Amino acid sequence: MRSSTRVASHRSTNDQDHPVPDGPSEGWADPWADGAGRPSGRRGRKRTRRFKNLRRLVKAGIAVAVALAFLVLGDRFAVLFAERKTEDQLQKSLHLEAAPQVEIDGFPFLTQVLDKRIDTAHVTVPDLAADRVSLARVHATAHDVRLDGELPSHLTGGTVHSVDGDVLLSFEDLDRELGASQVRFSRLGHDAIRADGQLPIGGQRLGLHAQARIGRSGDRGVATDISRMRLDIGDVAVFRPGRNGGLRLTPKAARAVAEQRDKVRAMLAVPVIAERAGIDRSQIRDAMRSESALERLTGTPGFVGKLMKVNLFDVVADQPDLPEKLGVDPKLMGAVRGVTEPQLADQLNLSFELPKTPGDLRIQRITVERDGIRARLSGGSLPFGDTSKARAAGGR
């Protein structure tokens, strides 16, 4: 009984000191929970501050990115503007039919413009006329370009301190411009080319073959030394112009003549043949009288080669009808005989000289590549635009 009374008394005392409501009561709140049952107070305020700081950082990052984008965009627009202005100036200075392509390196560009100096620029000029031919492409890289004018809005000209590049004379252009689609040019070696095709002569198209060495002509030109020129009259005869040239039988035609006795006798009857072919006159006399002697002569080793040494132009004077018997049209012979070495060389001449430009621009070396003839360039002190005009006026 004492124990029960003590417990009851203790409960009564606690209830009076700390009354606990049975349920929610108006005016009472839990200090560790908000209305949604989530933690609040100091921990909630820290999370809110962190969220606001993050939003400010994101906004600042976006603003910086937008500003940088506008700066880059503005710089690129300035580059495009300068490139177009430079293209116009170069086109006028070099008297080009088509505007060149200019690409300026370096970022930021505006700092280069304000300094009136561009580190590197690439220039490509398509289809540049050079004497009888067109240069398929001229590519150059300009270094240390000094600009003139009220920049960045007004570019009047400038000077290229140094430049290097190359010029390509393509075989495709040569075929079209020199060969009239009848002659094809191809690489023969690092400094040589081959020409093969057809050439209209005497109402017929004769096979044309030639070789040419390519080299420099001074500091600004390319020269061609054409050799081994020949015209094929079918498979009957070959014409080679020049001092030691002439019209001679092909191996096939010479073998056919050696097998036909009437044609052999017709040729041996011409006195000059013995001299040109190196045949003993006594052998010729015996062959003209005896079939067996003729057979022995035509069957000797080297007889076909001796027939190929005979210049058919020398035969015409004594036997005008002999070329026709051998299968060569007399009219065509006359037309071919009038073709000279300079005439053929002129039709195959690939020589050209770089267009005159202000400043110092030179050809350093020339190589023959698969697609054409390439010349390496270098130079410096190249003015353009109004700067070029001012220098030209000062030089007068």
pLDDT in tens, 294-316: 888 888 888 899 889 888 888 88
Per-residue pLDDT for 63 more than 70? no
Taking only the tens place, the pLDDT of each residue in 84-93 is: 777 787 777 6
Report whether pLDDT(126) > 90: no
Q: How far apart are CA 301 and CA 288, in angstroms?
A: 19
What pLDDT does 251 receive? 93
CB 326, CB 346: distance < 8 Å: no
Distance between CA atoms of 306 and 312, rounded to whole angstroms?
13
pTM over the 0.85 mark? no
pLDDT at 79: 67
Average pLDDT over residues 259-267: 85
338: phi > 0 → left, psi -120 to 50 → alpha, else beta; which? Answer: alpha
Contact 312, 328 (CB under 8 A): yes
Q: Give the range among 12-21, 253-262, 375-384 with minimum mean pLDDT.
A: 12-21
Residue 359 and residue 366 in contact, taking contact as beta carbons nearer than 8 Å: no
In terms of average pLDDT, the best of 145-154, 263-272, 372-381 is 372-381
Largest CA distance in the chain: 176
Would you list the domain boundaries of the chain?
Answer: 64-170+379-394, 245-327
DSSP state, residue 161: E
Q: How far apart, in whole angstroms, are the C-alpha atoms of residue 393 and residue 296? A: 83
Q: In the chain, what percentage of residues exceed pLDDT 70? A: 73
Helices and strands (DSSP H and E) totals, the chain:
15, 13
The pLDDT assigned to 243 comes to 82
Is residue 170 over pLDDT 80? Answer: yes
Judged against a pLDDT cut of 50, whether residue 389 lies above it is answered with yes
Q: Residue 41's pLDDT is what? A: 58
Residue 195 structure tokens? 């020409």
Task: Please report the pLDDT score of residue 149 as a whole number.
Answer: 75
Question: Could you tell me which residue, 253 or 64, shows the higher pLDDT?
Answer: 253
Length of the chain: 396
pLDDT of 48 above 50: yes
Cα 396 versus chain centre, distance: 37
Give whichever of 23-27, 273-277, 327-331 has the largest mean pLDDT.
Answer: 327-331
Question: ∠ at Cα 360 (355, 364), nearest 5°?
Answer: 80
Q: pLDDT tier at 138 (50, 70, 90 boundaries)? A: confident
pLDDT digits 0-9 by tens, 192-231: 999 998 888 888 889 999 999 999 988 888 888 998 999 9
* Sequence letter at residue 318: D
